[in-house]
Amino acid sequence: MAAAGDVFLPEVGAGKLHVLAVDDSHVDRKVIERLLKISSCQVTVVESGSRALQYLGLDGEKSSIGFDSVKVNLIMTDYSMPGMTGYELLKKIKESSVFREVPVVVMSSENILTRIDSCLEEGAEEFLLKPVKLSDVKRVTDFIMKGEGKKGVKKSHKRSRSDDYSPPSSSSSSSISTAFSSVSHPCDLSLPASPSSALLSKKTRLSI
């Protein structure tokens, strides 16, 4: 995965990404944990947004002074959760000075464009349709690894459309991301047959 010249900083402990996964479904937690372990990640799984905030130290319980914040390279969260939704969790993370640069991926079984749009607008790295596949996780983690290795590149939490991200070689992608510069706006996407929306997999069903 590492190209010559890439520098892996100590934060990415021994080349492994530390991923925090959030999902209220026990089955889905077990699956995402397995997917991430196979993708060579260190995994912490929690069952709710509030537990995630607790883990990150963002629940207001600990004082920011002297608190050694936990190092997380990626957060993957389910969207529909009781209590705090994945969207609300995303917002809290992006509001935090410590964690706003951590990429957040939102997962959902429902392919609702307004939902996808608001998550991406709020700074989500990617939106994955459930059930999440190994290829989705590998693609995301590979991408994050490259990003972590090139710390010189400044990344804002609101991705710009022109970010140079090379699309995955695999054609079956069940995610929608602002990284694809061929798309002007997720809501503008028309029928899957058109070339501009080639990035959508056959799994996504647009209700346009």
Partner 1 sequence: MDKIHSLRQVAAIKHSLFEQGYLDEQFIQLEELQDDANPNFVEEIVTLYYRDSSRLITNLDQTLERNPLDFNKLDTIMHQFKGSSSSIGAKKVKAECTLFREYCRARNGEGCRRSFQQMKKEYATLRKKLETYFQMARQAGPKETAFRPK
Q: Is 149 left (phi over 0), alpha (psi -120 to 50) or beta?
A: alpha
Shortest separation between residue 38's beta carbon and partner 1, angstroms: 6
Which positions touch partner 1 (CB under 8 A)?
24-28, 30-31, 34-35, 38, 80, 109, 130-131, 133-134
Nearest residue (CB) to partner 1, 115 versus 133: 133
Closest of 81, 97, 76 to residue 31, by C-alpha = 76
Shortest separation between residue 17's beta carbon and partner 1, angstroms: 18
Shortest separation between residue 80's beta carbon and partner 1, angstroms: 7
Nearest residue (CB) to partner 1, 26 versus 151: 26
Q: Extract the tokens encoding 159.
A: 């991705």
Nearest residue (CB) to partner 1, 80 versus 96: 80
Question: What is the Cα–Cα distance from 131 to 103, expressed in whole angstroms?
Answer: 20
Q: Which residues of 94-130 are buried (b: 16+ CB within 10 A; e: fewer)?
A: bebeebeebbbbbbbeebebebbbbbbebbbbbbbbb
Question: What is the Cα–Cα distance from 177 to 83, expressed in whole angstroms?
Answer: 26
Shortest separation between residue 118's beta carbon and partner 1, angstroms: 19
Nearest residue (CB) to partner 1, 29 versus 159: 29
Closest of 175, 76, 162, 161 to residue 116, by C-alpha = 175
Shortest separation between residue 26's beta carbon and partner 1, angstroms: 5
Nearest residue (CB) to partner 1, 31 versus 89: 31
Question: What is the Cα–Cα distance from 208 to 151, expressed in whole angstroms?
Answer: 40
